[in-house]
């Protein structure tokens, strides 16, 4: 028994002594990849080749002593060259892989997400668009639809580089699903709205609002218009129908997509689905509109809105907002003329 304990202690001492690369620069980092399905021996060979461990046998022994022979996770790693074997094992077992950030702003459409997907998947944008069309199936992802639009939650994700587009979509859909708590589902049921209808309105609120504190009031305007049977007349839906955002929406633009199902200037009720990725604040605003009787709003240059209750008031507000926009434009032009 004493000899067995002594042998185990000797192995532990050797592991401690040989557990890191003694000649390495303290600041040096080493990258390596553990392929999916790699055996412990293959991982050990990689670590020896990178001079991260001194002995293949001792690394395997350490893994067995810890009970982690089968717990090493695949991925790309970056670790200090002088890392101790125990710490290295912690990285491998916990899957502390190299990640790249993927940031999707609120309001983004699938089309706007494509270049950002390209940066993390190593796919060409054209290939991503084609693959997204293949993945654009609400039944596959258990979402209301139509398609994926509006159901890839806007957030910052930390993903392994080279991750498949399907895995990225799955991660974002799962994040979206977590939004729908029991309280939110109960509130939607109380309103008599479906999940799709709530997300369609939330996406419009997201497109209209520049200030989070105004979202419940904007929501109230649309709720009131729906109850009265008015057209929503939401500019972001026309932008979506056009397939691009324009700094100024003209009547000709609205007329050019008059028959489009997402044009709320010509089609009554909510559009068939979301027009972009709504954030949590917009979702809550759709579910909890402000208690007010406003029916119209118009944007000021500072991002806030003038809210009104009648068409007469709205037309006055438009004149006032136009003056403010013109003043901003004059100031901008004067700055260009003076070289400021």
pLDDT exceeds 70 at position 3: no
Please compute the mean of the pLDDT values over residues 269-291 and round it to a whole number.
97
pLDDT value, residue 74: 83
pLDDT value, residue 2: 46
pLDDT exceeds 80 at position 294: yes
Which domains, and CATH codes, for the chain? 17-94 (3.30.1490.480), 100-177 (no CATH), 194-215+229-290 (no CATH), 295-340 (no CATH)
For the entire predicted model, the pTM comes to: 0.80
Mean residue pLDDT of the chain comes to 89
pLDDT-based confidence at residue 122 (cuts at 50, 70, 90): confident
Residue 132 CA to residue 25 CA, distance in Å, equals 45
Tell me: the pLDDT tens digits for 249-278? 888 889 999 999 999 999 999 999 999 999
Under 8 Å between Cβ of 88 and 79: yes
Residue of 222 and 254 predicted with greater confidence = 222
Tell me: the pLDDT tens digits for 171-213? 999 999 999 999 999 999 999 999 999 999 999 999 999 999 9
pLDDT exceeds 90 at position 216: yes
Under 8 Å between Cβ of 143 and 103: no
pLDDT exceeds 60 at position 10: no
143-146's contacts with Cβ under 8 Å and 24+ in sequence apart are 143/173, 143/176, 143/177, 144/194, 144/195, 144/196, 144/199, 144/273, 145/196, 145/273, 146/272, 146/273
């Amino acid at each position: 028994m004493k000899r067995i304990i002594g042998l185990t202690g000797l192995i532990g001492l050797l592991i401690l002594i040989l557990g890191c690369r003694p000649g390495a620069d303290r600041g040096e980092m080493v990258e390596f990849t553990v392929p999916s399905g790699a055996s412990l021996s293959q991982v050990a060979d990689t670590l020896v080749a990178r001079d991260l461990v001194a002995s293949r046998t001792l690394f395997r022994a350490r893994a067995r002593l810890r009970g982690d022979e089968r717990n090493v996770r695949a991925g790309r790693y970056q670790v200090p060259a002088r890392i101790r074997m125990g710490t290295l094992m912690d990285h491998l077992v916990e899957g502390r892989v190299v990640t790249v950030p993927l940031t999707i702003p609120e309001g983004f459409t699938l089309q706007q997400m494509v270049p950002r997907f390209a940066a993390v998947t190593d796919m060409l944008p054209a290939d991503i668009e084609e693959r997204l069309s293949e993945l654009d199936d609400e039944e596959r992802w258990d979402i209301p639809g139509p398609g994926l639009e509006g159901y890839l939650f806007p957030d910052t994700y930390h993903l392994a580089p080279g991750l498949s587009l399907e895995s990225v979509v799955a991660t974002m859909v799962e994040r979206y699903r977590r939004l729908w708590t029991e309280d939110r589902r109960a509130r939607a049921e109380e309103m008599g709205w479906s999940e799709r209808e709530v997300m369609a309105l939330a996406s419009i609120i997201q497109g209209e609002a520049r200030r989070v504190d105004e979202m419940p009031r904007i929501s109230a305007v649309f709720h009131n218009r729906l109850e009265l049977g008015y057209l929503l007349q939401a500019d972001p839906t026309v932008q979506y129908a056009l397939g691009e955002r324009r700094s100024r929406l003209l009547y000709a633009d609205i007329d050019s997509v008059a028959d489009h199902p997402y044009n709320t200037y010509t089609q009554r009720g909510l559009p068939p689905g979301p027009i972009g990725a709504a954030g949590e604040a917009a979702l809550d605003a759709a579910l909890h509109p402000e208690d007010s009787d406003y029916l119209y709003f118009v944007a000021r240059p500072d991002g806030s809105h003038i809210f009104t209750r009648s068409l007469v008031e709205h037309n006055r507000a438009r004149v006032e907002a136009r003056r403010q926009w013109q003043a901003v434009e004059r100031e901008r032009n004067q700055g260009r003329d003076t070289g400021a």
